[in-house]
Amino acid sequence: MKKIFEPFETHNFKTKNRLVRSATWENLATEKGGICENSYMLYDELAAGGIGTIITGFTSVDLHDRYFGGMMRLCDDCLIPEYRRLTDIIKGHGVAVITQLALGAYYAPSHNGQYSEVDIDYMTKEQILQVVDMFIEAARRASEAGFDGVQIHAAHFFFLSRFISPAVNHRTDEYGGSNANRARILVDILEGIRKVSPKLHITIKINSSDFLPTGLTETDSLEMCRIVAAHGIDSIEVSGNGTSRPGIRTEADEAYFGKFAARLADQVSVPVILVGGFRSRKVMENVLNNTKIELISLSRPLIRQPDLPNLFETGVTDRADCISCNACYRTDGHTCIFVPKPKWLCAD
């Protein structure tokens, strides 16, 4: 029987329990992607709360990515010391730490020196390979900064998610058409990271479905997951478009990507991580013990209760206080409106 609060180990990765803080964008970084003091305090609080693994928030691989503001970045070696301080803080609590490497969109310079977004269909092969290299170099920096692993963010309709979606990618070359061709960019990134940073745990976050007409279906996603598993991915986190669903009823609406994740776990030999609507310890344990899913990932509950894992383990509570109102997305630093403003939000 699998237990939430037991050590878990897989390729290039060890963690003290099966709970993962899923990557959550905080909108707290500097324009160039540096880490502000309040971010250090936020992650210190999360790490002290009993979570086994933290996947840090959306971290762009490109300085010119302006998809939204406040993104952390690993696009320059000068940022490594700031991220080394972050990993030291998190690891000081005995918590494993992974950075989510992502790209909002690909921006290229025009004749006047301004950067503008390039449609995936019109990217040159050289530009695609440049993106691949951005991810590889960001992973190298992550390794030098002390991260245990990196997560390739191919979900939520950011750049890689759109690239692998037939709703967006209409290319007719080796990077378009079939699922295998559209997944080629993921394989290129994965194999490049493995070659340059062999000690990193490499995971991927992917949509179970785009939930869009002509978009990535569950059948498509299963095939792509099998492809990256065959090429050596270490674990897969299952999500989907339309994540952060509102109004989750405890024990009734939890684990809304669970059926897909269970199917996936039966088809691949690497650990599957499931995120999406978890609120109760009972449902988490049921998922772990009635499927081959290995790890449970949380986001919104930890915004309200960063110490929720400790509360679970000590028996203080068996369910999260989060009511899935999504008001946290409209606050500074994505904080919960039902609790006092955290001290780290007031830091410089």
pLDDT in tens, 142-177: 999 999 999 999 999 999 999 999 999 999 999 999
Here the tokens at position 54 are: 């933290």
Cα-to-chain-centroid distance, residue 258: 17
pLDDT score of 111: 77
Question: What is the distance between the alpha carbons of residues 348 and 5, in angstroms, rounded to a whole number?
Answer: 35
Here the tokens at position 200 are: 């990193």
Q: Are 211 and 165 in contact (CB under 8 A)?
A: no
pLDDT score of 347: 57
Question: What is the distance between the alpha carbons of residues 163 and 192, in angstroms, rounded to a whole number?
Answer: 18
* Cβ neighbours for 129, distance < 8 A, ≥ 6 positions apart: 188
State the Rg of the chain over Cα: 19
Q: What is the pLDDT of residues 172-221, one digit of tens each?
A: 999 999 999 999 999 999 999 999 999 999 999 999 999 999 999 999 99
pLDDT score of 348: 52
Q: What is the torsion angle, in degrees rounded to the nearest 10, for the CA atoms of residue 30, residue 36, residue 40 and residue 45?
A: -90
* Cβ neighbours for 86, distance < 8 A, ≥ 6 positions apart: 35, 39, 40, 43, 56, 97, 145
Here the tokens at position 82 are: 């700031």
pLDDT score of 311: 98
Give the pairing type, strands 8-10 and 13-15: antiparallel
In this prediction, the residues of the chain whose per-residue pLDDT falls under 70 are 346-348
pTM of the model: 0.96
What is the Cβ-side half-sphere exposure of residue 226, based on CA atoms within 13 angstroms? 12
